[in-house]
Amino acid sequence: MKIGIDKIGFYTPHIYVDMEKLAEARNIEPAKFTIGIGQSQMAVAPITQDSVTLAANAALEIIDDEDREKIDFVIFGSESGIDHSKSGAVYVHQLLGLNPHARAIEVKQACYGATAGIQMAKGHIALNPDSKVLVLGTDIARYGLNTPGESTQGAGAVAMVISANPKIMVLENPNVYLTNDIMDFWRPIYSDKAFVDGKFSNEQYILFFNKVWEAFKAKSGLELKDMEAICYHLPYTKMGLKALRTVLDEATEDVQERLLENYQVSTLYNRNVGNIYTGSLYLSLLSLLENKDDLQEGNRIGMFSYGSGAVGEFFSGTLQPNFKQYLNIDGHRSLFNARKEVSIEEYEKIFEETLPTDGTDIELDINRDPASIVLSGIMDNKRQYVNKKR
Ligand code: HMG
C-alpha cells in the first residue's frame, strides 16, 4: 500500500524581524547572520499565538469536510507544549471541528517530534487504510535576547494529512534512525528558553547525519545520485549545507550541482521564518516543492530529521503525479507578503511580553492578530482559544 503526505499546510505569525537590523542592534557584522548563519528574516510570535494556535492555523488551510470525517488520529509534535498533562492535539481537534471518534496525542523529542508522528501515522494507515492522520509540527523557538542562539529563533507550524494513495509524496521504506543520550540542547520544565551547547549541537547534527546516511545507503542500496534533493531539519539554513557538504564527494559533479541547487531552493522559506523546530524539515520540503519548477513525478527526496538530545532519522519519499496542483503556493506567497516587519525595540517588547504563570487571569487583544485562530486569554488557569471563522 502507498502511504504518505496527502496535504501539507503551513502557518507563521504576521510579524518578523529583519536579520541585518538585528545584527546591527547587537553590534554584529550583518553578513554573519545573513551568510554565516544564512537567515534573512525571523518570525516573531505575538502573545496571541502559541503552539496550539500555530498548528491549528496551519491545519485550517488544508482541512476539508471529508478530512474532518476521516481524520481519526491527531498527532501534535512539539517542544513548546502548553500543558504538562493535556495534549495540544485535543485543542486542535476541537478548534478544527474534527470527528469525535479520533485519537489525539502529543509527541515530544525536540525537533524530531513531527517525524515520529509521521512514522506512527504510517503504521496507523497500514492498519486502517480508509482513515487519515493529521500530523502537526508546531513550535516557537526561544533562546533569549542577546544570546548566541537569538539569530536562530523563529515561530511557525506545518500540518500534514497522512493517508493511503497520497496526492503529494509517498513515504518509502526503509527508514534509518539513531538515538544517543547527549546534552546539546534542552529546555528544563522551569524554563521558557532553551539551553544549548551551540558548537556541540552543530557537531552532533553532522555526526548523526553521517551515521544515518551511511546506514541508510547500506539498508536501501540507494546513493546520492538517486536523490533529486535532500531536505534537512533547518535550525538555520547554513546547517543543512554543512551536513550536505560532508558527503558531496560521493557523487559526480552533475549530481553535486543538482543537490546544491535544490538545497538552496529547499531553504527559501526557512531563511525567512527561522527555526520552527518540529516543523523545520517539513517547511524545507514545502519550500522545495513550491519553489522548484522542474520537479517531476517519481523524483525521490531524501529527508534528514534531527531532534537534539538526540534522535536522528533518514528516510525518503517519491513525488506523485501532479503533486503541484495540491499545494497552496499562492496562499503561502500571500502569507509571506502580508507579514509586517517590526523594529528591534518592538520585537524585544513582544519577546518579553509573556503569559502569567501564577494563575492570574488575562484577556488579550485579539484584534491586533490577523490569524484566524488566536489565544484570547487565560481564565481560571485555562487557555481560551477563538476560531474567528466559526
Ligand atoms: P555563534 O557562536 O554566534 O556563531 O553561534 P559562529 O561564531 O559559530 O559563527 C556562525 C557562522 O558565521 C560561522 O560559519 C562563521 O564563520 C560565520 P561556519 O564556520 O560555521 O560555517 N561568520 C561569518 N560569515 C560571513 N560574514 C561574517 C561572519 N562572521 C561569522 N562577517 C550557533 C552559532 C548556531 C552555534 C548559535 O546560533 C546557536 O547556538 N544556535 C542554537 C543551536 C543550533 O541551532 N544548533 C544547530 C544544530 S542542533 C539542532 O538542529 C536542533 C535544534 O533545532 C533544537 C531541537 O532539536 O529541538 C537546535
For residue range 24-81, what is the model confidence (pLDDT) as tens digits? 999 999 999 999 999 999 999 999 999 999 999 999 999 999 999 999 999 999 999 9
CA dihedral 191, 192, 194, 195 (to 10 degrees): -20
Range of the domain at 46: 3-168+327-387
Q: Please tell me the predicted confidence (pLDDT) of residue 388.
A: 93
Are 137 and 99 part of one and the same domain? Answer: yes
Nearest CA to ligand 1 atom 44: 235
Q: Answer with the one of 272, 306, 322 that is the final residue of a domain.
A: 322
Q: Is the dihedral of CA 282, 284, 285, 290 positive or negative?
A: positive
Intra-chain end-to-end CA distance of the chain, in Å:
37
Q: Please tell me the predicted confidence (pLDDT) of residue 250.
A: 98
Are 136 and 215 part of one and the same domain? Answer: no
Nearest CA to ligand 1 atom 39: 198
As a whole number, the mean pLDDT across the chain is 98
Q: How far is the CA of 149 from the centre of ligand 1 (A)?
A: 8
Are 304 and 371 part of one and the same domain? Answer: no
**Residue 199: pLDDT over 90:** yes
Q: Please tell me the predicted confidence (pLDDT) of residue 389.
A: 87
353 lines ligand 1 (CB under 6 A): no
Are 184 and 161 part of one and the same domain? Answer: no
The proportion of the chain whose per-residue pLDDT surpasses 90, expressed as a percent, equals: 99
**Residue 163: pLDDT over 90:** yes
State mean pLDDT over 110-116: 98
Mutate to test the pocket of ligand 1, among 19, 35, 152 (most ligand atoms within 8 A of CB): 152
- What pLDDT, in 10s, does the model give residues 98-108? 999 999 999 99
Nearest CA to ligand 1 atom 4: 148
234 lines ligand 1 (CB under 6 A): no
Count the Cβ atoms, other than its own, within 10 Å of residue 294: 7
State mean pLDDT over 15-27: 98
Q: How far is the CA of 199 from the centre of ligand 1 (A)?
A: 7
Q: How far is the CA of 198 from the centre of ligand 1 (A)?
A: 7
Q: Which atom of ligand 1 is nearest to the CA of 112?
A: 56
Nearest CA to ligand 1 atom 48: 201
Tell me the CATH number at 200. 3.40.47.10
Q: Return all residues near 351 (Cβ < 8 A) that are at least 6 apart.
A: 44, 142, 145
Q: Answer with the one of 299, 322, 345 that is the final residue of a domain.
A: 322
**Residue 283: pLDDT over 90:** yes
Q: Which residues are catalytic?
A: 79, 111, 233
Listed residue (297, 292, 317) closest to 222, CA to CA: 317
In the chain, the number of structural domains is 2
Q: Please tell me the predicted confidence (pLDDT) of residue 390.
A: 81
Are 214 and 353 part of one and the same domain? Answer: no
Are 220 and 183 part of one and the same domain? Answer: yes
Listed residue (61, 310, 316) closest to 203, CA to CA: 310
Q: Which amino acid is at 52?
A: V
Q: Which amino acid is at 77?
A: G
Are 19 and 164 part of one and the same domain? Answer: yes
Q: Please tell me the predicted confidence (pLDDT) of residue 41.
A: 98
Rounded distance between C-alpha atoms, residue 275 and residue 45, angstroms: 12
Q: Classify 137 as helix, strand or coil.
A: strand
Are 283 and 306 part of one and the same domain? Answer: yes
**Residue 152: pLDDT over 90:** yes
Whether 282 contacts 233, CB under 8 Å:
no
Whether 150 contacts 194, CB under 8 Å:
no
The proportion of the chain whose per-residue pLDDT surpasses 70, expressed as a percent, equals: 100
Report the DSSP beta bridge partners of residue 163: 4
110 lines ligand 1 (CB under 6 A): yes
Half-sphere exposure of 20 toward its Cβ, with a 13 Å CA cutoff? 1
**Residue 235: pLDDT over 90:** yes
Q: How far is the CA of 386 from the centre of ligand 1 (A)?
A: 37
- What pLDDT, in 10s, does the model give residues 301-348? 999 999 999 999 999 999 999 999 999 999 999 999 999 999 999 999
> Alpha helix locations (H) across 292-343?
329-337
Are 52 and 192 part of one and the same domain? Answer: no
Dihedral class, residue 298 (left if φ above 0, else alpha if ψ from -120 to 50, else beta):
left
Nearest CA to ligand 1 atom 16: 36
237 lines ligand 1 (CB under 6 A): no
Are 162 and 59 part of one and the same domain? Answer: yes
Q: Are strands 362-363 and 373-379 parallel, antiparallel or unpaired?
A: antiparallel
198 lines ligand 1 (CB under 6 A): yes
Are 218 and 91 part of one and the same domain? Answer: no
Are 189 and 237 part of one and the same domain? Answer: yes
**Residue 387: pLDDT over 90:** yes
For residue 188, cis peptide bond before it (omega within 30 degrees of 0): no
The structure's pTM equals 0.98
Q: How far is the CA of 345 from the centre of ligand 1 (A)?
A: 24
Q: Which atom of ligand 1 is nearest to the CA of 275?
A: 53
Q: How far is the CA of 342 from the centre of ligand 1 (A)?
A: 24
Q: How far is the CA of 80 from the centre of ligand 1 (A)?
A: 22
State mean pLDDT over 360-376: 98
Whether 37 contacts 189, CB under 8 Å:
no
Q: Answer with the one of 293, 322, 351 that is the final residue of a domain.
A: 322
319 lines ligand 1 (CB under 6 A): no
Q: Which atom of ligand 1 is nearest to the CA of 202?
A: 47
